[in-house]
């Protein structure tokens, strides 16, 4: 009996110590010298206090949590228990922070002592626990001073950080189903130089969400080839089913330039991920075949053409094939019957499988008029531009089948 009492005493005092450790009083409040356990008892009679904040703070439960998360990008969640002194103490500061952050972030309260499933899903082990969710994914836990100013500045700082981490497959899947355009860095570490370069690049693109991961499984789910070395990056335009891998040095400028170019591509670079999408695109297509290296001039000329014909964007797709790159570029060039290193421009109409090659020098004006005549169906009459022997185009299904099975 004596032994049990001692054990019990030990247990309760360690719980109190544990609670003090987990829920320390905020530094700025001098009025918190009362014994926490006394305060807890007083609060037992007063469970309705969360209602006081209903005007500023959203209340969520297990039934409406997910839907709210999928509709709101920046959400700070306070998991609380209404008998908890520190939860009650935090609530007015939290509600004030909600006012400060109005229009930028949503502040949410969840009674974790009632919502057991949510508490379990987010490993809530103490009250209150504060998390910032971004894009429906829990990203940061708040440990700082629990005042309106510190909370709101912290949320703003995290939101402006630009890069968010993905650590689990659940998060990855949620992001893939809610985002439309994003960049994902596959890094050695979520902190340090690589992460800083990525974050710096992200600040130049407020219209693209940047993520980072160290998980090979997550990277693969985002179409990063398992053999790609870290650090690397992929740009996904999920709406269009396009994935564009980054193949340059991992610096902020190179990343920013790549994203600049990829988010509104005038010219699509053919990759294993977008090949099927391109082969099925019903638009007329202008293809440039050129080696990956030493073709800067002809590629930028091709981009100039794309820019000049951009008014006709919905009629004409510009595709660039790295003709000697291992993987898709080389194979598609072979399938098109194109050899050597000389750049070539080809017009291809998916709908009727007609194709034309541009003979002569590749200049801005020659490619541009070739494209315009193609759009106006004028190339039809110029049978001398059709060269079946040079051009052997695979059928759509054959091409995508072969692309899929070879990689
Ligand atoms: C979620 O459901 C709870 C309980 O029905 C309700 O009090 C709360 O207002 C709901 N929140 C939202 C944002 O719909
Ligand atoms: C991105 O594009 C804009 C305009 O198209 C340009 O002003 C800016 O310098 C580009 N940024 C980089 C890093 O290339």
**How far apart (Å, rounded) are the C-alpha atoms in residues 209 and 179?**
8
Q: Whose CA is closest to atom 11 on ligand 2? A: 257
Gap from CA of 322 to ligand 2 centroid (Å): 24
**How far apart (Å, rounded) are the C-alpha atoms in residues 182 and 212?**
11
Ligand 1 close to Cβ of residue 90 (< 6 A) = no
Residue with tokens 């032994």: 3
pLDDT at 394: 40
Gap from CA of 267 to ligand 2 centroid (Å): 16
pLDDT at 313: 56
Both tokens assigned to 41: 């008892």
pLDDT at 311: 61
Specify the pairing of strand 58-59 against strand 106-111: parallel
Q: Whose CA is closest to atom 1 on ligand 2? A: 260
pLDDT at 3: 54
**How far apart (Å, rounded) are the C-alpha atoms in residues 189 and 172?**
17
pTM comes to 0.45
Residue with tokens 């200049």: 363
Pocket test for ligand 2, best of 200, 260, 265 (most atoms within 8 A of CB): 260
Q: Whose CA is closest to atom 9 on ligand 2? A: 257
Residue 400: name the closest of 307, 273, 291, 255 by CA.
273
What are the 10-residue block averages of pLDDT along the chain, 407 residues in total? 50 45 39 38 63 93 94 94 92 92 91 95 93 87 87 82 83 79 93 91 80 95 92 85 86 90 78 76 89 86 86 77 82 81 88 82 94 85 38 37 30
Ligand 1 close to Cβ of residue 64 (< 6 A) = yes
Q: Whose CA is closest to atom 5 on ligand 2? A: 260
Ligand 1 close to Cβ of residue 59 (< 6 A) = yes
Q: Kindly report the three-state secondary structure assignment for every residue of the chain.
A: CHHHHHHHHHHHHHHHHHHHHHCCCCCCCCCCCCCHHHHHHHHCCCCCHHHHHCCCCEECCCCCHHHHHHHCCEEEEEEECCCCHHHHHHHHHHHHHHHHCCCCCEEEEEECCCCHHHHHHCCCCCCCEEEEEECCEEEEECCCCCCHHHHHHHHHHHHHCCEEECCCHHHHHHHHHHCCEEEEEECCCCCCHHHHHHHHHHCCCCCCEEEEECCHHHHHHCCCCCCCCCCEEEEEEHHHCEEEECCCCCCHHHHHHHHHHHHCCCCEECCCCCHHHHHHCCCEEEEEEECCCCCHHHHHHHHHHHHHCHHHCCCEEEEEEECCCCCHHHHHHHHCCCCCCCCEEEEEECCCCEEEECCCCCCHHHHHHHHHHHHCCHHHHCHHHCCCCCCCCCCHHHHHHHHHHHC
pLDDT at 252: 93
């Amino acid at each position: 009996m004596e032994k049990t009492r001692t054990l019990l005493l030990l247990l309760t005092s360690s719980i109190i110590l544990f609670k003090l450790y987990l829920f320390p009083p905020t530094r700025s409040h001098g009025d918190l010298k009362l014994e926490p356990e006394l305060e807890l008892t007083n609060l037992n009679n007063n469970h309705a206090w969360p209602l006081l904040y209903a005007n500023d703070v959203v209340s969520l439960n297990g039934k409406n949590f997910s839907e709210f998360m999928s509709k709101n990008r920046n959400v700070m969640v306070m998991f609380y228990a209404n008998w908890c002194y520190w939860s009650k103490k935090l609530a007015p500061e939290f509600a004030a922070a909600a006012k400060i952050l109005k229009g930028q972030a949503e502040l949410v309260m969840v009674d974790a002592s009632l919502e057991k499933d949510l508490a379990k899903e987010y490993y809530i082990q103490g009250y209150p626990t504060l998390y910032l969710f971004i894009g429906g994914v829990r990203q940061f836990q708040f440990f700082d001073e629990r005042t309106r100013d510190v909370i709101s500045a912290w949320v703003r700082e995290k939101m402006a950080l630009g890069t968010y981490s993905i650590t689990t497959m659940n998060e990855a899947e949620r992001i893939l189903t809610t985002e439309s355009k994003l960049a994902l860095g596959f890094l050695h570490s979520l902190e340090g130089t690589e992460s800083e370069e990525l974050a710096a690049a992200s600040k130049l693109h407020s219209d693209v969400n940047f993520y980072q991961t160290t998980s090979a499984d997550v990277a693969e789910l985002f179409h990063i080839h398992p053999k790609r070395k870290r650090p690397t990056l992929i740009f996904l335009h999920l709406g269009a089913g396009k994935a564009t891998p980054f193949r340059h040095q991992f610096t902020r400028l190179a990343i920013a330039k790549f994203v600049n170019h990829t988010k509104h591509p005038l010219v699509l670079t053919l990759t294993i991920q977008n090949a099927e999408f391109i082969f099925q695109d019903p638009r007329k297509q202008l293809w440039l075949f050129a080696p990956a290296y030493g073709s800067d001039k002809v590629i930028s000329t091709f981009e100039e053409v794309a820019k000049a014909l951009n008014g006709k964007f919905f009629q004409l797709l510009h595709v660039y094939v790295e003709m000697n790159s291992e993987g898709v570029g080389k194979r598609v060039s072979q399938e098109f019957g194109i050899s050597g290193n000389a750049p070539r421009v080809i017009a291809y109409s998916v709908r009727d499988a007609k194709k034309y090659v541009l003979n002569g020098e590749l200049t801005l004006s020659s490619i541009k008029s070739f494209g315009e005549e193609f759009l106006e169906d004028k190339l039809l009459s110029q049978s001398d531009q059709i060269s079946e022997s040079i051009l052997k185009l695979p059928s759509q299904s054959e091409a995508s089948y072969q692309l899929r099975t070879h990689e």
